[in-house]
Structure 1
Amino acid sequence: MSYFLAKSQNNRIFSIGLAFSTLILTGGLGTIAQATTLDATAASFAPKGTAATPAQIWQRLNHARWFSQGSGPHIIYLLFDPNCPYCHLLIKELQPLLKPDALTIRYVPVGFLEPSSMGKAAAILEAKNPLQALWENEKGFREKGHDGAIQEILPSAATEKALKNNLSILEATGQKTVPTMLYRNSQNQAQIVWQLLSPKNLAQTLKGLQ
């Protein structure tokens, strides 16, 4: 089972795990909502009056700072923080689906969860091989400490600007939540996902990507 954890003291919301039923924690146990399809989940958690439509977010991401894995025709944008344990789980969960579902994953780093997040995101972006740097971060990820393994650096001015832009795109979705995924469905409509599904529903949805 996965959970949605809300920390009221710093207004940070984390999507946890990949079995994708949801538990809202606000100091105690809340209600459990069973997800059914990725589109339905995204719709149920869509905030009212978001600053930008999914299509507008998609266009902004096309010009954001990201790096990719895979060469399939089905594109997923994944906004992640290097210190996010749930991003760590999602990245692992997507790996066996990469080739079967002909995916291209465009990783969009942000840095806001912890004081070291910006420096670690910068270390990934400024690496000669950002994807390899991501694996370094994930391979040594310390789940108990919510701590990515890559060593943080002082970002260059250009990288700091890019990371702030990436974060502004995340905020424009209406929820400052990681991981956040975007994809195009079979009708070529952009969808934003703040919450995740069961592996079965995730697999079914990925097969229907544009």
Structure 2
Amino acid sequence: MKRFPCVPLLLASLGLLSVSSGVALAAELPAAIQAVEARGAKIVGRFDAPNGLQGFAARYNGQGMALYLTADGQHVLLGTLLDAKGEDLSREPLERLVYAPMGEEMLTRMQDSTWIADGSDSAPRVVYVFSDPNCPYCNLFWKQARPWVDAGKVQLRHIMVGMLRADSAAKAAALLTAKQPAAALNEHERAGKASTLKPMKTIAAEVQQQLDDNLALMGELGAAATPAIFYQDADGRLQQQQGAPNADNLTKIMGPK
């Protein structure tokens, strides 16, 4: 299981964060910090740092990066700052200024994508899963999730993609356009290898666009295979599970039974 900010390729092309403090941050940046921005970093905020240093939080290639400007304003240190006890002084500001807003934005992106709800709309926990109709591990996760879904504790939101086989997109389209998508999905997953789901002969342009958008979003989140599972941990941080989880990780994703 991966902590969301550690996913490779995470949001590198999204340009998600903006500085909304009312201060034109870019216009006030010292020249040394501007030089780092010129190399591709995006400065998203400032934070307090010890001993005359000025702290800046940045995004670079989708990752958080801490910058420390020296007191003379002429030099920049990049990386993790530790105190005498070995405590990481960079973690909290990067979490607050980079990763927390990034996770919130990604939750919104997934919420606004095209998905099939599996479970009660009043379930206290929502889990997003990028799912391919031909994926055996998606089927395994569907089975693993039944106790929580059936108890009304979790709603799975299946963000359908078509990537594994030639007919995956057509099968995903058939599910999305079914009269009752949730029932169609559950029938397909319940049957497993015996599923009789028929691929759609002609995918409407609108539906194809939904599938393309879902697959693009999956890539932007750093996921390369299905099922790609995204959920919030006990602290509200976005986490990713790649593949069907083991028993311990399943409880982290779904919560207590």
Q: So what's the TM-score if we normalise by structure 2?
A: 0.58
| Residue from 38, 42, 64 that aligns with 2:2 | 42
Report the equivalent of 2:140.
89
- Shift in Å, 1:204: 4.5
Higher relative contact order (CA 8 A, sep 6+): 1
Partners of 1:161 and 1:172 lie apart in 2 by 16
1:63 aligns with 2:23: no
Query: Aligned pair in 2 of structure 1 residues 135, 189: CA closer, same or farther (>3 Å)?
Result: same
> Which ranges of structure 1 fall in alignment gaps of 5 or more residues?
1-40
Report the equivalent of 2:51.
none
1:73-152 map, 5 Å: 73-100=124-151, 102-142=153-193, 149-152=196-199
Partners of 2:154 and 2:182 lie apart in 1 by 15
Letter in 1 for 2:129: L
Query: Aligned pair in 2 of structure 1 residues 207, 50: CA closer, same or farther (>3 Å)?
Result: same
| 8 Å Cα contact 1:136/1:149 also seen in 2 | no
- Shift in Å, 1:197: 3.3
| 8 Å Cα contact 2:228/2:242 also seen in 1 | yes
Partners of 1:110 and 1:50 lie apart in 2 by 19
| Residue from 222, 231, 247 that aligns with 1:174 | 222
Partners of 1:101 and 1:46 lie apart in 2 by 31
Partners of 1:112 and 1:133 lie apart in 2 by 20
Letter in 2 for 1:51: L
Deviates more, 1:117-126 or 1:66-75: 66-75
- Shift in Å, 1:127: 0.3
How many residues matched?
Answer: 164
Report the equivalent of 1:25.
none
Letter in 2 for 1:182: F
Q: Percent identity?
A: 27
Letter in 2 for 1:58: L
Report the equivalent of 2:54.
none
Letter in 2 for 1:155: I
Q: So what's the TM-score if we normalise by structure 1?
A: 0.70
Partners of 1:95 and 1:82 lie apart in 2 by 18
> Which ranges of structure 2 fall in alignment gaps of 5 or more residues?
13-101
Letter in 1 for 2:241: V
- Shift in Å, 1:130: 0.5
Partners of 1:45 and 1:89 lie apart in 2 by 26
Report the equivalent of 1:164.
212
1:79 partner SS:
strand
- Shift in Å, 1:57: 2.6
